[in-house]
Every structure is written in structure tokens, then in C-alpha cells.
Chains A and B, each alone.
Chain A
């Protein structure tokens, strides 16, 4: 450990210009990273004129809360949030169930056909039919314009599967062997031993699925037609580029500010992002470990 160094030397190092520079670089990077968020929050609380004039930097000018009270009245946002909440919850549950099942079964070396099934899953990382054939399959299954189209086609992610499988493989064998001696079945081992030991990785993968569902724009864009089934991101896009339902051909820059006040737009962004910001601190201690595991080759 470097902390074992004589204290005199440590003291000298703490104040060295090089150390100062390093702390300076990190601070600057963090500020650049956070600033856009501050700007959005400040704009959402500022008067229309101040935002349109481009005067708001990181504190509100002409403080107002009207944009937030106005959002409360915008039913289309809450409806879209409800859609995204349903999709996120069911998608995360489905994604976790499939991923845990596959990872547990394929972490067992005794399983016959393990390699073939593994290959069957991993191959899809490198080759696929593409957007259009997938779209046609989803349509043929009668999922078009339904919640199912937002949940099912993207319910399992190969990367998440690899991370989970690596975690299961590295669990201590002794516990499992002891359970086998006691005559426990595979099901019992999964529910009584493996799952309780895997809560950190389940939280990590759960977060990854939840965020990808919450942030999903593409599925809604291609599969959803009815306005009452718009997901949050699709609705948000529509509101930000107001007056346009067809997302692909976007308004020319500058044309977009007319229908909805800028501060209201920024408030909408804040509200749409808030759930992630709220959940984030609770789960972030887990996910670093999760990503590290993912870096271990599958």
C-alpha cells in the first residue's frame, strides 16, 4: 500500500504541482460533465425571455415554477410515463428471468448440449437479420402497436447474459456441493443458495435492463402507432420538437422553439430523467463490479 510511506514524503507529495494538476483535471472534467444538467435545471426554472435570450448559464434567471405546474397538467406526459413504467417493470422482470435462467443452466458443466446452446446465443452477437426482417417477425406475431412489441423483442441481452454466467461460475463450489450431498435439487440450489448470493449482480443487470427500457426510443418509434401507447422517450421527442409527429424528418433548427416554451421543454427533460437520477445512487455501488465482471472474457 502506498499509504505506508513515511508521512513526511506523503505530505510533500500531496502538495506537489503534479498532484494539484491531476486534481484540477478531474475537477474540470466533472464540472464539464455535470454542467449540462445544471443548465437544463436552471433553464427549467427561468423566465421564458431569459431562456430565449440565451442568458441562463447555471442559475435561474427570472425564477418561476410555472413550467412545472404546467407539466402537471400535461396528461400526455403522464400517460407516456405510465407506458414506460409498465414497459420498464415488465421488461426488467422478463429480462432478469430469462438471463438468470440461461446463465444458471449454462454455468453447469454437467449439462449436455451446453456448448451448442451457448453458441446458439453468442452467434447472435455477430450476425443478425437486421431491422426490417425483425420488424416483419414482430408484425407477423401480432405485436405491432402493442406493449409486447416494446418489451419482448429486446428482452434478453447477450452481454448481460455473459456477465451473469461469469458470476455464477465464480460462486464457491463448496456450498453447492454440500447442498447436493444433502439431496437438494437444481431448483432448490438456484432459489436457496445461488440467488441469495447473487443480489449484487441481479441489481446490476436489473439496472441495465431498466435503463435500456426506460431510455428506449427506437422500439417505440418503429412499433408504436397509437398516441396513447407512446413511450416516454417518443413523447418527449415529440414535445421537444413540437408540432412534429414524424420523427424522422426533423424540423429545421430554430423552428422548434415556437410551440412550446423553452423552459417548459427543459422542465419536461428534468421530469423524464428524474427517475434515473433517483434510482442511480442506490444501485451504483453494485454496477462497477458488474462491469468489471463483464470485462472477463465470456
Chain B
């Protein structure tokens, strides 16, 4: 049968409703995601608010030269990497261990209630988390330091000393996301064939051996995918956590790329520099993404692109 060639108008008319649904979506992405990409030209300009994007002078890579020479910029890059890597190093294995443990729990009610409570912190705002952290870890009147002092030890500067601040930052992140993070592993484990456990059980495998030889291989590919996703986000960091947990005493470690861009751009109105840093970050992110994807495919795992 010969298929009739139809014009674009035919399809537009036939699927009018669907295109109408898409119209606001396309408009949204155009205005709030693609128009700002045009703003990237500011990174190559000596941007002047009064002249605007169309009349500011182009200076080539001068803005980048200025940034790359700035010690503050490199500090923010270093801090971003330190905080991201250390959080990942702690939360990645802990999340998997918690998921494996939860998976072994057979009491349905106990498991359900535990999961509900473990997911809850994910829904709490960083403002509240920082407020709670302040209440718990404060040097002078924090509950945790109250306990430490009652044991006859010295108060710990959880929020005011660089090393301890990293510890507190990781702790808050792990507390907030560990439960939520298990969902994806538990989802992968719901599909595990029970007969595998039966076989291992009959062969005399202990509970621990069954976890290591049956359960762990089941979540390996999910774990690799999660790791790729996390590693590819190494250069991006949410503004909320470091800004809200940070304070003037730990600026040397809490100032990350996002907070630096915020201070530079919004507070000091250095639009060109802040935009250039944003662009630098986006480009590095994409490079890392391609790299980890390539590595994952090389070791025989499914990539993400």
C-alpha cells in the first residue's frame, strides 16, 4: 500500500490539542532556560548594567583570565570538590548498607514504619536543618555539646572550626538523604528471584554470605549508575546547604562555587565574572559527565547518555 505524503499542516491540525499542551512548556523552557543561555555572552564582555548586553564592550577572554588568577575562585572550586567528594565517600556506602539491612527485615509493619521515618528528613528544608544543627551543635548551648561537657570533655567546635564543620556538613547531608537514597536500591531488589535465596540457603550459606553473593550483585548496576550520576555532579553544589550551615568563622571552607557566584553576582553585581564562573562550571560538568559515561561503558556497565 502506498502511504500518502501529508504536509506539516495536516499533522498540526490532527494533533492540535497535543501541540497546544506543549506550547506553554516550550515557551517556559525558551524563556527561563534558553534565553539565559544567551546571557552567557556577558562572560566575554566588560559588562555594564547601563549599557546592557547589546552595547557592552567585548573583551574576549579577559574575564576568564581575571577569574583564573583569583585565589577566591580556586578556593571555592577546591571547597566544592572537598565537600562533594567527602559527602559522597560517606553517604554512598552507608546508603547501600542501610538498603541491604532494610531488605533483610521481614516484619512488614516494622519495616514500613522505619522507612516512613527514614524518608522524612528528605522533605525538610535546609533552613530548618541548619536551625536544628545550630540547636544541636552550638558551642555554648548545643545539646550535643551539653552531653559532651557533662562527660567531662571539652566542647567541640562543630560549626566554627574548619575540620569539624566539614564533619557537621557531611553529617547533616547524610541525615537528610540516607533514607531517601535507599528507595532506589530497594526498588532494584524487589525484582530479585526468591529461588536464588532458597538455593543459597539450602547450600548452607549464612545470612551474611547470602547478602554478599546474592543481594549485592543484584544492585551492582544500580550502584554504578548512581555513582556515575553523583560523580558527574562533582562540580555542582546546592547553594542552600553551604550557605545556611556556614558562618563567617568557617568561610574558608564553606565558600563553594554556588555561594561565591551568588555573592559576586547578586551582592556585588559583578555580572560578567559571576556568569563566567557559571559557564566554567557548566562546561566542566559536561566534560566530567562524558568522561564518567565513557569509563562506565569501558568497564562494561550501562552509561547514562
Which residues of A approach B to under 8 Å, CB–CB?
1-2, 13-14, 16, 18-19, 22-23, 25-27, 29-30, 32-34, 36-37, 39-40, 43, 51-57, 97-98, 101-102, 104-106, 108, 110-112, 117, 120-121, 124, 126-138, 141, 152-153, 155-156, 185-187, 211, 214-215, 217-218, 222, 233, 236-237, 240, 247-254, 256-257, 262, 265-266, 269, 272-273, 276-277, 280-281, 284, 288, 291-292, 295, 297
Contacts and interface: CB of A to CB of B under 8 A. Distances in A.
Given A252-B249, A295-B187, A128 B128 contact: no
A36 to B, nearest CB: 5
B126 A127 contact: no
A250 to B, nearest CB: 5
Interface string B28-46: 1101111111111010000
A97 to B, nearest CB: 8
A59 B228 CA distance: 43
Interface stretch (B54-62, B76-84, B129-137): B129-137
A3 B124 CA distance: 37
B134 A240 contact: yes
Contacts of A250: 246-248
Interface residues of B, number: 107
B289 A105 contact: no
B22 A132 contact: no
Contacts of A23: 105, 107, 110
Nearest to B115: A288
Contacts of A222: 262, 266
B48 to A, nearest CB: 13
A33 B121 contact: yes
A134 B26 contact: no
A149 B109 CA distance: 43
Nearest to A207: B123
Given A23-B105, A40-B135, A127-B286, A132 B265 contact: yes
Interface of A is mostly: helix
5 contacts: A39-B132, A111-B18, A128-B37, A214-B125, A217-B125
Contacts of A30: 114, 117-118
List the 10 shortest-distance A-B pairs measured between CB atoms, nearest first: A130-B278, A133-B39, A129-B36, A54-B146, A215-B125, A101-B21, A133-B36, A292-B187, A105-B18, A132-B265
A40 B127 CA distance: 14
Interface of B: 8, 11, 15, 17-19, 21-22, 24-26, 28-29, 31-40, 42, 98, 101-102, 104-107, 110-111, 114-121, 123-128, 130-132, 134-136, 138-143, 145-147, 149, 159-160, 175, 178-179, 183-184, 187-188, 194, 197-198, 206-208, 222, 239-240, 243-244, 246-249, 258-259, 261-263, 265-267, 271, 274-275, 277-279, 281-282, 285-286, 289, 304
A3 B243 CA distance: 50
A266 B34 CA distance: 42
Given A55-B146, A129-B40, A137-B39, A26 B25 contact: no
A129 B29 contact: no
B275 A130 contact: yes
B262 A25 contact: no
Contacts of A297: 304
Contacts of B246: 250
A124 B34 CA distance: 8
